[in-house]
Amino acid sequence: MIHVGSCSWTETSLIKSSDFYPKGVNTAEARLRYYADMFYVVEVDSSYYAVPSARTVKQWAERTPPDFRFHIKAYALLTGHSADLRSVPPEVRDLLSNASLKKGRVTLNEKEPLEEVFRLFREALRPLVEAGKVGVVVFQYPPFFVNSSRNLDYIVRCKELMKDFRIGVEFRHGSWLAPGRADSALSFLKENGITYITADEPQYGNLSTVPFVTGVTTGIAYFRLHGRNKANWFKRGGETSLRYDYLYSEGELREFITPFVEAARKAEETFVMFNNCHLGYSMKNARQLSEMLEAGSRSKNTA
């Protein structure tokens, strides 16, 4: 099975400027219910910026069909990113040093606050666990998270701290997937039961981004398609969503079908998640790809 979806249903420009949501679908509940009528799966992006409340997570579960699935992007402090101090849960702030509390943004290096934020993140997702609607927790590591033994150890630590949750890893530095190193990285993930996430993003001929290297390391094949906006990918300032201001062409989508199908043959489930959410492009491309896959399936069945 190849399941297609978007990496957000609430991105600001998507809501304001796209034609995905019809007139009258203008509340948080209505948008999620409408989205869940169109697609089987979604990725939660807001969880990267703050640990969601259990009440919000429970509402996600209540507003979607029984077989709907949520992939969850890991909170920034879990993946080595910095986070706005205002987003840090009080239980974690109480464990921070005075020097950290004076900063507008913080990172976690000490064991106790790190373990506490992992615990709070797991607990926040409990309503989805109880509803059987949790997919993969997406650990998208920073661009400065390079291929090293220390970072390999940290990936394993993340899996341990997420306990019974399934985690997926997306690399953002090319050292992980460079020629001669990709096989080793994928073998490491497979040995540790961690899902590899294949990313499509702009290419510059160096290690600043990752190449489109496919691989299946667990029973789940996972693709995240960010778009190929080279001009805005590293641009500082302005809206973050402009990095994802990219609409895949029909030809580009067709080029993906073979690797998607090949991955699906090796996996129990395959997920293709569009992260080019700017102006609702992710919705448009997800619909296009779904139609292509369905057409290909019908053609195969009638041949």
Tens-binned pLDDT, residue by residue, of the chain (303 aa): 899 999 999 999 999 877 899 999 999 999 999 999 999 999 999 999 999 999 999 999 999 999 999 999 999 999 999 999 999 999 999 999 888 888 899 999 899 999 999 999 999 999 999 999 999 999 999 999 999 999 999 999 999 999 999 999 999 999 999 999 999 999 999 999 999 999 999 999 999 999 999 999 999 999 999 999 999 999 987 788 899 999 999 999 999 999 999 999 999 999 999 999 999 999 999 999 999 999 987 666 665
DSSP letters, 37-102, are HH-SEEEE-GGGTSPPPHHHHHHHHHTS-TT-EEEEEPPGGGTT--EEGGGS-HHHHTTS-HHHHT
Which pLDDT tens digit goes with each residue over 221-255? 999 999 999 999 999 877 888 999 999 999 999 99
The Cα angle at residue 297 between residues 296 and 298, in degrees rounded to 5: 95
pTM assigned to the model: 0.96
Contacts of 72 (CB under 8 A, 6+ apart): 43, 44, 47, 125, 128, 134, 135, 136, 137, 138
Query: Topology of domain 2-302, per CATH?
Result: TIM Barrel (3.20.20)
Beta strands 41-44 and 105-106, pairing class: unpaired
Cβ-based neighbour number of residue 251 at 10 Å = 7
Spans of all domains in the chain = 2-302
Supply the pLDDT for residue 124.
98
As given in the structure block, the two tokens for residue 8 are: 């957000």
- Please tell me whether residue 178 adopts helix, strand or coil conformation: coil
**CA atoms in the 13 A half-sphere facing the CB of 166:** 20
Which pLDDT tens digit goes with each residue over 31-47? 999 999 999 999 999 99
Which pLDDT tens digit goes with each residue over 276-302? 999 999 999 999 999 999 998 766 666
Supply the pLDDT for residue 241.
87
Q: H or E segment at 199? A: strand 195-200
Alpha-carbon 230 to chain mean position: 20
